[in-house]
Amino acid sequence: MSTTAQIGVTGLAVMGRNLARNFARNGYAVALHNRTPARTRELVEEFGQEGTFVPTESAEEFVAALERPRRLVVMVKAGDPTDAVISEFAPLLEDGDVIIDGGNAHFADTRRREQELRERGIHFVGTGISGGEEGALHGPSIMPGGSKESYASLGPMLERIAAQADDGAPCVTHVGADGAGHFVKMVHNGIEYADMQLIGEAYQLLRDVGGYSPDEIAGIFRAWNTGRLDSYLIEITAEVLSHVDAATGRPFVDVVADRAEQKGTGRWTVQLALELGVPVSGIAEAVFARSLSGHTALREASAQLAGPTPQALGPTEAATFADRVEQALYASKIVSYTQGFHEIAAGSAQYDWNLDLGAIASIWRGGCIIRAAFLDRIRAAYDSRPDLPSLLADAEFAEEIAEAQDDWRAVLVAATEQGVPAPGFAAALSYYDALRADRLPAALTQGQRDFFGAHTYRRTDRDGTFHTLWGGDRTEVEA
């Protein structure tokens, strides 16, 4: 077989197939490989007119079809299946060739694979891809890690197939070394969890307290999508809420079981935040809310617990309440992104990645699930001040939260009084209040730790580390 393909894709399920088509549509000759050759043939038969495809049936044939440096995109399940594909193809590659993992791999696995392959002269590029199957086909947000040398070869191709922001910039950048791309994609997904939870809480409050129907709430979300909450998730929320189930004539949202699934990236975000010592309480509440939704037996056993029954407001009060919910949603959303970018900054420091937070915000402006208008402002905030410690330290965002906080608090009072759970809103506000507090109860916590475990403490009035001898006259000694 002649060497004709500029890039290859192995693993032709929906995401891999659409990514291969995206490359072909953009003028690249694409080698195709799948464990089941029938799937390769189906792709060529159905979409062969979209560009140049080079179907292959064996690993050797696939590698032989690729021009050098070979660029091989792996689109299989994370974990052992990815390792199996690497083990199959790596012996067939040469110095300077590139393996691109486009799955949702754990970044620690990516770091391991990158090091192992680097020692063999092969570049390994862990690449976060966001946008689902439509994004893969029409232009996703792409977060590649790996070496600078690999990006020099691969980057121009990714820039051509990526989504474009409103200013025409491609939604892709070289994120950083080894596992940085998959790390950033992981946190992206964590923010996505929080964003979806906050939107869900806004819906529930508008319905149970505001008294609005799903279709009316769809109209409210459409109105919000013309302003500062303009985003993909708000847009599709309106579509879901306005949809009517054909079989029953009921609102679609009322016939869907209220048990939300998760694939793991949200959990990883929270687990790593714990290791890094970064508070991502909003993301954690979103993960826990999905987990709680699936504990059907527990929920059934608790259904008769005492509590208020929500009473819908009148039309005038409901309209005012809806405006307050918009404020609470926007403020909580800022906090979620604040926590996510804090985790990215902490990971950057921990793994010496030197990540550009402004560039990351920039590539999330199009293609990805959390794409939103206000990411332009997040990018601008970090571009103007790369050492910004928190989005809440940005003057514009701080001013907006100051304006929103009374309504934010009022919404949570209503939620509490009416018995409507709003853990995401509450976690966001608690985080905000903890940051601005002059003193935290951590002083008492550290005193308790010193009492039962001699863990020592620091003082506010002089330097040093101290321990109190609690059993006798409570003498303080310097540790």
189 labeled binding residue: yes
Strands 98-101 and 30-33: unpaired
Which positions ≥6 away from 287 have C-beta within 8 Å?
Answer: 193, 262, 266, 267, 269, 270
250 labeled binding residue: no
- Report the distance separating Cα 108 and Cα 204, nearest Å: 37
132 labeled binding residue: yes
Strands 123-130 and 53-55: unpaired
15 labeled binding residue: yes
174 labeled binding residue: no
Catalytic residue among 114, 185, 333, 343: 185
Alpha-helix residue ranges (DSSP H) falling in 303-394: 315-350, 357-363, 375-384
Q: Which two tokens stand for residue 48?
A: 């062969």
12 labeled binding residue: yes
70 labeled binding residue: no
449 labeled binding residue: yes
Q: Determine phi and psi for 445, rounding to 5 degrees.
A: -60, -45
295 labeled binding residue: no
Amino acid identity, residue 139? G
Q: Tokens 């560009």 identify what position?
A: 51
18 labeled binding residue: no
Q: Which two tokens stand for residue 52?
A: 């140049």
Q: Tokens 């001898």 identify what position?
A: 469
Which positions ≥6 away from 285 have C-beta within 8 Å?
Answer: 194, 197, 423, 424, 426, 427
77 labeled binding residue: yes
CA distances from 266 to 193, 343, 469 (A): 6, 13, 44
416 labeled binding residue: no
290 labeled binding residue: yes
196 labeled binding residue: no
148 flagged as catalytic: no
263 labeled binding residue: yes
193 labeled binding residue: yes
Which positions ≥6 away from 27 have C-beta within 8 Å?
Answer: 51, 160
Catalytic residue among 61, 134, 159, 192: 192
CA distances from 374 to 172, 279, 366, 379 (A): 18, 22, 12, 9
185 flagged as catalytic: yes
Q: Residue 101's closest CA among 73, 80, 121, 132?
A: 73
Q: Which two tokens stand for residue 295?
A: 């504990």
Binding site per annotation, positions: 11-16, 34-36, 76-78, 104, 130-132, 188-189, 193, 263, 290, 449, 455
Binding site per annotation, positions for substrate: 104, 130-132, 188-189, 193, 263, 290, 449, 455
Active site residues: 185, 192
Binding site per annotation, positions for NADP(+): 11-16, 34-36, 76-78, 104
